[in-house]
Amino acid sequence: MSIRYLRYLVLTWLLVALSQIPLSFAGFDPANAKPAAVWTFDGGNAKDSSGKNINGNFVGKPKAVGGIVKKALKFNGAKDGIRFPDSADINTGGPYTNRTVVAFFNCDDVDVKDHKQTIFEEGGKTRGLVIYVYDGKAYVGGWNRAEYNWPGAWPSVKVESKKWYHLGLVIRDAKDKVEKGKFEMWVNGSLVAKEKGGQLHAHGDDIGVGYVNQNAVFHDEKGGAGSDVDHFAGLIDEVGVYGKALVAADFQDLTTALSVDHNDKVAVTWGKIKSLK
């Protein structure tokens, strides 16, 4: 067997291996994280893989494409979205004192300014959570404007178009009052912001991915009113809602896929293979 053919076989194996990033990352334990719903989109649909059967229905025609972990859904920014049924674990139960929502996204154009690009939302104008992109930044938000009156928090970070990011929002050990450091933003496995927050009471407005299904509140109080608005353009993958405040180790495990850049990894590996001849 020639050295050239051997290199070809090794490179082919590496390409296949790198394209099959496992869904169960490293030490992350989905059961211990208390999943309320997990949507991987690997089947080209919005079936819940958590066992809770919170399955979504497409609005428009989101398309299954290659994602950062197996398959993702591509949204056109105008008509596409996914609506989900109510769930005691997500919106109609509570109060929720610990909560995590995570998602991978790759936005076509992060600089859009005429509307928010919604990745995930639950709740409505009185109580809820949201993840979105607007004017070059990614935001996570939470609010509970009744009971104890948490006006809301919307930390943000700058992001780039056509690039994968992992966002997480966390409500951690919250009570029925506004306290410092109870609402967190996580980006690519790292904690980037802690703001005032509190527990989230039951909220009946519907759950959506890729658009606002039914009402949301944004950082500038503009948009988010009504149904089927504020659509996202780009890819969304691996959306999860958990009844636990995830910790750093969990986020690092969940973001393993970001550390595997297929093109760079193959280039580096190919260079090492060539150096062996």
Our CA dihedral for 40, 70, 27, 239, rounded to 10 degrees, sits at -30
Residues 165, 88, single domain; the answer is: yes
Residues 151, 161, single domain; the answer is: yes
- Spell out where 110-262 has E strands: 117-123, 127-134, 137-144, 150-153, 156-158, 164-171, 179-187, 190-197, 207-209, 233-242
193, pLDDT greater than 90: yes
188, pLDDT greater than 90: yes
Residues 16, 29, single domain; the answer is: no
pLDDT digits (tens, 9 = 90+) for 109-159: 999 999 999 999 999 999 999 999 999 999 999 999 999 999 999 999 999
- Indicate the pTM of the whole model: 0.87
Residues 268, 178, single domain; the answer is: no
243, pLDDT greater than 50: yes
Q: Specify the pLDDT at position 181.
A: 98
CA count, 13 A, side-chain hemisphere, 244: 13
Q: Are 48 and 38 in contact (CB under 8 A)?
A: yes
The CATH code of the domain that includes 151 is 2.60.120.200
Q: Specify the pLDDT at position 277.
A: 32
276, pLDDT greater than 60: no
Using CA atoms, how far apart are residues 183 and 179, in angstroms rounded to an integer?
Answer: 9
Q: Specify the pLDDT at position 8.
A: 53
For the chain, what percent of residues have pLDDT higher than 70?
A: 84
Q: Is 112 helix (H, G, I), strand (E, B) or coil?
A: coil
pLDDT digits (tens, 9 = 90+) for 152-168: 999 999 999 999 999 99
* Domains of the chain: total: 2
6, pLDDT greater than 70: no
Q: What is the mean pLDDT of residues 192-206?
A: 95
Query: Which residues span the domain enclosing 2?
Result: 1-21+260-277
Q: What is the mean pLDDT of residues 219-223?
A: 97
Residues 15, 29, single domain; the answer is: no
As beta bridge partners, residue 142 has 129, 153
Residues 16, 107, single domain; the answer is: no
Q: Are 129 and 99 in contact (CB under 8 A)?
A: yes
Sign of the alpha-carbon dihedral angle for 230, 87, 238, 197: positive
Residues 183, 237, single domain; the answer is: yes
Q: Specify the pLDDT at position 204.
A: 86
Question: What does the DSSP 8-state code read for residue 206?
Answer: P
Give residue 15's pLDDT band: very low, low, confident or very high (50, 70, 90): very low
